[in-house]
Structure 1
Amino acid sequence: MLKYESIQELVEEAEKRNVRISQLVLEDQAISMEKSEQEIYEKMEMSFQIMRESVQAGMNKDQKSTSGLTGGEGFLMNQYAMNNGGLSGSFMTKAIARALSAACCNASMGKIVAAPTAGSCGILPGCLVSLFEDKGFEEKDIVMSMFTAAAFGMVIAARASIAGAQGGCQAECGSASAMAAAALVELSGGSPRQCADALAIALSSQMGLVCDPVAGLVEIPCIKRNASGMMIAFSSADMVLAGIDAKIPADECLDAMAEVGECLPKSLKETAKGGLATTPTGKKLRDRVFG
């Protein structure tokens, strides 16, 4: 049985068995949960379907959050993507639109997959739904890659944190980006060790990211950070696939992230008492919502 206490454990076991991390995890979860691999797979398949639905729901032109502070970002970005692809090209701008849409779906109380949290729910869909819809990746391969992302997320949660209230946004969008980067590498034929490197690069790129939600709501700047985290996932995966390694091992990055999270003041850990939340405009928006 796997302990999910280190990334190195997953990598070494996958290398030992000469399998992908996803297959290793699927087999392990089936045993630990006393269910068939097919049952475990179908549950993950359902999660991918919910991701696709959340993207679609968040692209509604008239979509608005409950607070009224946000809404329509996914629609606007998708319209922009259809106009010659923008500066980043049509694939990436559509991916940004999907990340924003899933996050907007969450803000409007829609159904999402917390991967690993509601505040970071747009990053994995932005990556994986884009590969499915625009790059022609097989659904089965995408669903399997989610097991790798989930396993890495379990290690992050055990070794560091996935909660903004404990570790800042590095623990939410940073973790989601790292999980997505690993999934992207596996989908592209990378090795288990390259998956770990992608996670390390993505985490190190967001080390120290604070959690400063305006009005205490998971909207500003959270929704836009989903798009940024999604871009970091792609860039981290591409660097690794190009032959660039992380230099600092994944588990050491996790330990550093945990240490940084502990050093962050409470004002920058989801309390809305620092950062963008206490800017003059941030305070006005808070008053607009709560009076």
Structure 2
Amino acid sequence: MNFTTLNELAVLCETQNMTIGQLMLEEQSRESGRTPEAEFATMAQYYEVMKEAVHKGLNEDTTSPSGLTGLDAQRVVNYGKQSEMNLGGAAGEVMAYALAVSEVNASMGRIVATPTAGSCGVIPGVFVSSQQRFGWTDEHMVYGLFAAGAIGYVIANNSFISGAEGGCQAEIGSAIGMAAGALVELRGGTPAQAVHAVGLALKNTLGLICDPVAGLVEVPCIVRNGFGAVTALAAADMALAGVRSVIPSDEVIQVMMEVGSSMPEKHRETAKGGLAQTPTGRKIMQEL
């Protein structure tokens, strides 16, 4: 790739008068040796899988093999139909969609790891709900996925996207940053605003540990996807309003690297600490 930082990415977009998604499509094509049309078609297939996962999570039984999780997305949707939600329509919907995809993952369904299976609900939740709300085309959404991919590429190569390496801040945090930055672009924001959204999002998850109960990607992973999708909306709105990440986003990524590297092993996906080692967490482990 011709960029290694978010700042370089934004400058390239501005000098070449391209969106992040357009630039990333060209970069991916050059890197893979495949045509832009072929790369676009592949990403379009990924988006279809995301939409299918949202639909499945909202309409089918998503009870996981462990029996720990399932059907919470449908509970949120039903609650919204019966009572006025505190979050409001858009945020409530994005939360339900993100939960839906994460529950499909836990119930052994097909998802797209964006950037990981543990954080697979955030981007589909934000993208599918936003597409429905604003009436965007699938083509527009696919360019948004390329934008999210560019952001994820920078994070992965300068910090972590794996909970085992950097805690949940790496998985959920990265997904939120990718979704927030891409949503800014989908809404017509500038590359600079998209980059600010990434920094704003990542700052809100610094230090978040990875503590899966019984070692399964279910508790608390699924609800964190729901919360994460709502955070992505907030970060995107802040950036579109002109709110800046005072600490440059690339520096925030470096802080995530520093924090993750110093995080105790028991708080990095080992199920040896955090919620996994509460009395209830240990009981669930024994029963399973």
Alignment of 1:63-78 (within 5 A): 63-78=62-77
Instruction: Please say if 1:79 is aligned against 2:82.
Output: no
Deviation larger for 77-86 or 180-189: 77-86
Q: Residue type of the partner of 1:139?
A: D
Alignment of 1:1-291 (within 5 A): 1-3=1-3, 5-60=4-59, 62-289=61-288
SS in 1 for 2:113: coil
Q: Residue type of the partner of 2:172?
A: C
SS in 2 for 1:171: helix
SS in 2 for 1:82: helix
Deviation larger for 115-124 or 137-146: 137-146
Q: Work out the CA distance in 1 between the residues paired with 2:81 and 2:182.
A: 27
Tell me by how many angstroms 1:61 deviates: 5.2
Q: Work out the CA distance in 2 between the residues paired with 1:229 and 1:59.
A: 18
Q: Residue type of the partner of 1:100?
A: L
SS in 2 for 1:59: helix
Q: How much is the aligned-residue C-alpha RMSD, in angstroms?
A: 1.1
Contact 2:185 2:194 (C-alpha < 8 Å) held by counterparts? yes
Tell me by how many angstroms 1:62 deviates: 2.9
Tell me by how many angstroms 1:89 deviates: 1.4
Q: Work out the CA distance in 2 between the residues paired with 1:65 and 1:88.
A: 27
Q: Work out the CA distance in 2 between the residues paired with 1:31 and 1:163.
A: 27
SS in 1 for 2:82: coil
Q: Work out the CA distance in 1 between the residues paired with 2:222 and 2:171.
A: 12
Q: Work out the CA distance in 1 between the residues paired with 2:219 and 2:241.
A: 34
Contact 1:103 1:119 (C-alpha < 8 Å) held by counterparts? yes
Q: How many residue pairs end up in the alignment?
A: 288
> Where in structure 1 do 4 or more consecutive aligned residues deviate above 3 Å?
none
Q: Work out the CA distance in 2 between the residues paired with 1:285 and 1:252.
A: 39
Q: Work out the CA distance in 1 between the residues paired with 2:243 and 2:148.
A: 20
Tell me by how many angstroms 1:84 deviates: 4.6
Q: Work out the CA distance in 1 between the residues paired with 2:121 and 2:38.
A: 25
Deviation larger for 20-29 or 174-183: 20-29
Gapped regions of structure 1 (runs ≥ 5): none
Contact 2:91 2:233 (C-alpha < 8 Å) held by counterparts? no
TM-score by length of 1: 0.96
TM-score by length of 2: 0.97
CA deviation profile, 1:108-131 (whole Å, cap 9, x unmatched): 110000000000000001100001
Tell me by how many angstroms 1:63 deviates: 2.0
Tell me by how many angstroms 1:242 deviates: 0.8
Contact 1:82 1:90 (C-alpha < 8 Å) held by counterparts? no
CA deviation profile, 1:24-61 (whole Å, cap 9, x unmatched): 11111112211111111111111111001111112235
